Every structure is written in C-alpha cells, then in structure tokens.
Amino acid sequence: MINTIRFRIPTLGLLIASLSLFVSCGKNGKKEKKEGDIQTYQVTTVNPQDITLNTNFPATLQGRQNVEIRSKVDGYLQAAYVDEGGIVRKGQVLFRISSPQYEEAVRNAAAVIRSAESAVATAQMEVEKVKPLVEKDIISKYELQSAQLNLQAKKAELAQVKANLANAKANLAYTRIISPVNGTIGLIPYKIGSLISASSAEPLTTVSDTRIIYAYFSLNEKQMLDFSRNYPGKTLKEKLKNMPPVSLLLSDGSEYPEKGKVETVSGLIDTETGSATFRAAFPNPAGLIRSGGSAILRIPKNLNSVIVIPQSATYEMQNKRFALIVKPDNTVLSTAVTTKASDNGQNFIVMEGLKAGDKIVLEGVSLLKDSTKIKPKMVANILK
C-alpha cells in the first residue's frame, strides 16, 4: 500500500508540471500571434498649404461684332469676292449684285436733269425778259409774277430730278456690298446666280470681328451669392474689377494661351433658368477662336493655409465623410471631416475636422476600425 502511494505522488506532480508548461506555452504563442497580425499602413502628417481652386463653367463664344451682311437691293448674285472663313477688312468689297436696271436708272436720271436744267434756264430768261417791260409799264406786274413762279417751279423740278439721280446712284452703289467691319467671313448660303432680295430670310453672310472674343457663362443664385461674398468691393463693378484673370479650356481640352477678364454681368436673373449671364473678354490676335464655338471658362480662387488630403484617405458612411487619425499609441480613431472637392477630382480640401500636425492613414481606411493598432509608415503627403 505504501509502495502504491509513493508511485502515484510523482506521477501527479509530473502531470501538474506538464499542465503548467502547456498553459504557459499557450499564452506565449497567442501573444506572438497578435503581434504578427499588426499591419503596416502609410501615414502622413497634414500641414496647411496655399492652393488654387478652379471652378469651371460652360461657355459660348461670340465675336465682339457679328454683323449680318444683307443686300439693300433686289437682283442676281453676280460675283462673290470672298470665301467662307476668309479674313476681310472694313470697306472691302464682298459681293456684287447684277445691276443693269440700276445703271439704266442712273442714266435716265442724268438725262432728266439735263432737261430740267434747260427748263430752268428758259424760265430764268423769261423772267429777265419780262422784268424790264414791267418796269416800263409796258406789261402788267402779273406777267412778271407768273414768270417768277414758273422759274420757281422749274427749279423745284430740277431739285427733284437731282434727288432721283442721287437715289439711283445709291441703289447702284448698293450693288457693291462691302464689309462694315474687320472680321472673318461666315457661311455663304447663296451661290452665283441666286436671286437676292432685300427681304431674304438669310443674310448673304456674317462678318465676325473676332479680334476680341466674348465668352458668355451663367451663375445660379447660390453661385451669385458666393460671388458677392468672395470678392471685395462695394459695387458689382468693383467686384468684377477685383476678380482674377480667367482661363479658357477649348473643345479639345487644351488651355487657350491668352488670359481673359470678366467684364459684365446681366442686371437681372432669368426667371426661367434662375441664373445671371456673365461676359468675359479674351484677346484673339491669332484668330484661333471662331465665333459660335463653345468652351469651358475657368475661374481661379486662391485658398491660403488650408489642409488638402487625397480622397483615398477618407471613406463615406451614412452621408458623412471620415478620416482616420493615428493616436500616439498607434491606434486609429475615426473623425468626421467637412470637405470640398478639388478641381482635379482626386483631392479633398478639409474645411473642418483636421488640424495641422494630425497624422492620418492614407490608404485602406475603410478596412480599419476604431482602436485598431497599426504599424505606421510615415510618408510625405504627395498630392495628385
């Protein structure tokens, strides 16, 4: 009996020791596993910086002058001295209308003038012949008055036929259609031989003065209020003067090399569209822009000491946007941020929620939960 007890005691001690060793090894293994689960994330320190935020508006382009060229007389298009897209100068002949009837009218008016001048001369002679006879009481004063009235009538007829000649010459001049301005020729819908009328629906062409191009764009009521608040000045004219130069993005996405200036704004808000129309002027010395085109007008706004972060450093939940701040113990904490998208569509301007010196996670933020510990890998906040 004693031998049996001596045998069981060592066996029980060995069992207890083995159990303790197992528990100890299990704790150490679990601890090592947790440390191995901590992942590395890129982290950056946010600092204020100065940036330029651009706002884009669709714009329509028009020349400084778009003059419709119409005929003042009826006739057939005899000649066209310009082609579509050509550059013309003020006073340059553009078209000629067939003019035989107007040439004939000038000749007839000139002939009538010669006849009227002869009639005036004859009436003048009659007055000179009658006057001395009246003075000598050979004939009555009535004869002199009659001769003088006849002279006045002949002079009136002469003035009338001279006016007819001037009108005939004007009509003849109208058959030569000239450009009233410098500019570029638009579409020419009529061909040689086409019947042209002063009442034709379509003009012969349009001459656009494109040395200065006007870009028209619209702001809604909210944007108008932002405009009034963002630019200094007591009057609208002063606010427009204090606006920075604006840019133009052409239809191929390239930026027009010349800068423009916003000059005017319509006095009323359109009740149908709820917007007001602005006009910006751009120099066009090379004639690169043509009237009737479209573009994007870009207005820059300088923002000083703002925090900018990549959009990938945020996530959205329940219509709110969050960033992950890294705490001193390397655990993360979600913080709500108020943001405004940058014009490149890849960054956010943080209006509220972050301050200078905060460390944030740059990527994989939607996979992390609050209080999760990470291995931060510090990188520069390289914005796209």
The count of residues in the chain is 384
Report the domain count for the chain.
4
Same domain, 92 and 182: yes
Handedness of CA 214, 219, 224, 227 (dihedral sign): negative
| Share of residues in the chain with pLDDT > 90 (%) | 47
Same domain, 150 and 92: no
- Give the DSSP letter of residue 244: P
Helix (H) or strand (E) holding 352: strand 347-352
Q: Which residues of 121-130 are buried (b: 16+ CB within 10 A; e: fewer)?
A: eebbebbeeb
Structure tokens at 243: 């606006």
Q: Is the pLDDT of residue 15 over 50?
A: no
Report the CATH number at residue 183.
Answer: 2.40.50.100
Domain assignment present for residue 191? The answer is yes
Report the CATH number at residue 123.
Answer: 1.10.287.470
Domain assignment present for residue 21? The answer is no
Same domain, 242 and 290: yes
pLDDT at 384: 62
Q: What are phi and psi of 220, to 5 degrees?
A: -80, 180
Same domain, 197 and 217: no
Report the CATH number at residue 234.
Answer: 2.40.30.170
Among the listed residues 87, 373, 73, the one whose alpha carbon sits nearest the alpha carbon of residue 198: 73
Same domain, 272 and 311: no
Decide the pairing of beta strands 205-220 and 275-283. antiparallel
CA angle 342, 382, 316 (to 5 degrees): 50
- Full strand arrangement of the beta sheet holding 75-80: 176-178, 93-97, 75-80, 195-196
Q: Which of 27-31, 94-98, 126-130, 253-257 has the lowest mean pLDDT?
A: 27-31
Domain assignment present for residue 5? The answer is no
| Residue 32: band (very low, low, confident or very high) from pLDDT cuts 50, 70, 90 | very low
Structure tokens at 62: 């028009």
Q: Is the pLDDT of residue 27 over 80?
A: no
Q: What is the mean pLDDT of residues 151-158?
A: 90
Same domain, 294 and 312: no
pLDDT at 266: 84
Q: Is the pLDDT of residue 31 over 70?
A: no
Among the listed residues 53, 58, 55, the one whose alpha carbon sits nearest the alpha carbon of residue 251: 58
Q: Is the pLDDT of residue 308 over 90?
A: yes
**Domain interval for residue 154:** 100-174
pLDDT in tens, 208-255: 888 899 999 999 988 888 888 888 888 888 999 999 999 999 999 899
Q: What is the mean pLDDT of residues 290-305?
A: 90
Q: What is the mean pLDDT of residues 1-22?
A: 45
Domain assignment present for residue 9? The answer is no
Three-class secondary structure of residue 128 per DSSP:
helix
Decide the pairing of beta strands 294-310 and 49-69. antiparallel
Domain assignment present for residue 343? The answer is yes
Q: Is the pLDDT of residue 112 over 80?
A: yes
* Mean pLDDT, the chain, integer: 85
Domain assignment present for residue 6? The answer is no
Q: What is each CA distance from 272 to 218, 264, 278, 324, in whole angstroms?
A: 13, 21, 16, 45
Same domain, 143 and 215: no
Distance in angstroms (rounded) separating the CA atoms of residues 198 and 334 = 75
pLDDT at 10: 47
pLDDT at 34: 56
- Rounded to two decimals, the pTM is 0.63
Same domain, 248 and 277: yes
CA 92 to the chain's CA centroid: 31
Domain assignment present for residue 323? The answer is yes
Domain assignment present for residue 18? The answer is no
